[in-house]
Amino acid sequence: MIFVASTTMGLESIVKEECIALGFKNIKVFDGRIEFEGNFKDLVRANIYLRCSDRIFIKMAEFKALTYEELFQNIKAINWQDFIDENGEFPISWVSSVKSKLYSKSDIQRISKKAIVEKLKEKYKREIFLENGALYSIKIQCHKDIFIIMLDSSGESLTKRGYRALQRVAPIKETLAAALVYLSKWKSDEVLLDPMCGTGTIAIEAAMIAKNIAPGANRNFAAEKWSIIDKNLWTDIRDEAFSNEDLAKELKICASDIDERSIKIAKENSEKAGVEEDIVFEVKDFKDIESPAKYGAMIVNPPYGERLMGDEDIEKLYRDFGSFCKKKLTKWSYYIITSYEDFEKVFDKKATKNRKLYNGGIKCYYYQYFGDRKNGYKN
């Protein structure tokens, strides 16, 4: 089988590295997705272990279609009966069509649904399907007349770890937060600082990475209810994940925010994630922070202009923040994600490198400033 790990644009290389680390085979990289080959054990492991992917799909087919009749016949040719139970719910929940002759999403959805029903009729010998059982959500993606048909095994997005019951304005997705930590090359024996932590997502993801806590071990997935996957697989791989946790590892993670309510939520979220002992949360303006160590890494997702502040306020914030970094984090490495186009100018320092990423659909840049590191190396 071929599986698809979908991801936010810009994170493909990170998800590829995760797939390599998990031992997946024949990995291929495309815009917004990573494909790999495997069996149901690999599907379960991908859902439980991947930190930066959004969802895990089974790739059911890829074909070219220029007419709705071609679309119908190609969809019907897929072995849906090998996956979907007689009472299974099989909505076509997501359709996209770009630069293609067949562009009507509603027509693609309607014709595809009819084709799947006709295929299932052949096996189950019935005219009406109640669709009151397990969920088999279907995604159809078409680009330049090439259709990719996928079956969603995850259900809720993998960004839903289960620890963030509450949030404040403009939170960063857990998958992106984990990617920021990976890109920073932060090591677990270094101090990590997030001086505008909001509800604590970056700090929590860093702690989970350092302690090898699998992001999906404590949540459920749509495919857990599929009859074609042995339920023992889910139990065994969760047990494997729990046994690999390094809960005794000591960490030095500091996270603060000027908003008292956000810090309260951050503490609650860290408790749900099981890392409350690893992060020191404080209500504090970043200007009042004293450097917790001579060397370290700072990862921060500061407010952006689009939703939270006006340009003048943003400029003052980033100018003050630049002064803070130069005065108090002299030898530190720091990593800042923002959509503000003039960030380097206002921050008054050119980044060592930057990387284009997307946060909630907003184009951002991840500005990376490489400083001295505790062990005498640089990034």
Question: Collapsing DSSP states into helix, strand and coil, what is residue 225?
Answer: helix
Q: What pLDDT is stored for residue 137 in this prediction?
A: 97
Q: What pLDDT is stored for residue 378 in this prediction?
A: 46
Burial of 57 (0-12, 13-18, 19+ CB in 10 A): buried
d(CA 114, CA 332): 59
Read off φ and ψ for residue 331, nearest 5 degrees: -100, 5
Q: What pLDDT is stored for residue 376 in this prediction?
A: 41
Q: How many CA atoms lie within 13 A of 298 on its CB side?
A: 32
> Which residues, other chains included, contact 282 with Cβ-Cβ below 8 Å and sequence gap of 6+?
254, 255, 256, 263
Band the pLDDT of 126: cuts 50, 70, 90: confident
Statement: residue 379 has pLDDT above 50: no
Residue-wise pLDDT for 9-62, tens only, equals: 999 999 999 999 999 999 999 999 999 999 999 999 999 999 999 999 999 999
> Which residues, other chains included, contact 109 with Cβ-Cβ below 8 Å and sequence gap of 6+?
92, 95, 140
Q: What pLDDT is stored for residue 170 in this prediction?
A: 60
Q: What is the DSSP string of 170-204?
A: SPPPHHHHHHHHHHHT--TTSEEEETT-TTSHHHH
Q: What pLDDT is stored for residue 293 in this prediction?
A: 86
Residue-wise pLDDT for 332-358, tens only, equals: 999 999 998 889 999 999 999 999 999
Question: Collapsing DSSP states into helix, strand and coil, what is residue 46?
Answer: helix
- Sequence letter at residue 294: K
Statement: residue 308 has pLDDT above 70: no
Statement: residue 199 has pLDDT above 50: yes
- Sequence letter at residue 66: L
As a whole-number percent, the residues of the chain with pLDDT over 70 amount to: 95
Q: Are the beta carbons of 150 and 32 closer than 8 angstroms?
A: no
Q: Specify the pTM.
A: 0.92
Band the pLDDT of 370: cuts 50, 70, 90: very high
Statement: residue 375 has pLDDT above 70: no
Other Cβ atoms within 10 Å of 314 Cβ, number = 22
Q: What is the DSSP string of 153-176?
A: SSSS-TT--S--S---SSPPPHHH
Band the pLDDT of 130: cuts 50, 70, 90: confident
Q: What pLDDT is stored for residue 303 in this prediction?
A: 84
Read off φ and ψ for residue 109, nearest 5 degrees: -65, -45
Other Cβ atoms within 10 Å of 225 Cβ, number = 16
User: Which among 147, 153, 148, 255 has a CA at the least distance from the CA of 196?
Assistant: 255
Q: What pLDDT is stored for residue 377 in this prediction?
A: 40
Token digits for 299? 């990862």
d(CA 54, CA 50): 9
Residue-wise pLDDT for 219-261, tens only, equals: 999 999 999 999 999 999 999 999 999 999 999 999 999 999 9
As a whole-number percent, the residues of the chain with pLDDT over 90 amount to: 82
Ranges of H-type helices in the chain:
12-21, 40-49, 68-76, 105-124, 174-184, 201-210, 231-243, 260-273, 311-328, 343-347
Residue-wise pLDDT for 138-185, tens only, equals: 999 999 999 999 999 999 999 999 898 666 556 789 999 999 999 999
> Where is average pLDDT lowest: 125-129, 165-169, 184-188?
165-169
Statement: residue 305 has pLDDT above 80: no
Q: What pLDDT is stored for residue 290 in this prediction?
A: 87
More confidently predicted of 207 and 305: 207
Residue-wise pLDDT for 269-290, tens only, equals: 999 999 999 999 999 999 888 8
Statement: residue 119 has pLDDT above 80: yes
Q: What is the DSSP string of 88-99?
A: -B--EEEEEEES
Read off φ and ψ for residue 327, nearest 5 degrees: -85, -40
> Which residues, other chains included, contact 178 with Cβ-Cβ below 8 Å and sequence gap of 6+?
51, 52, 205, 208, 209, 215
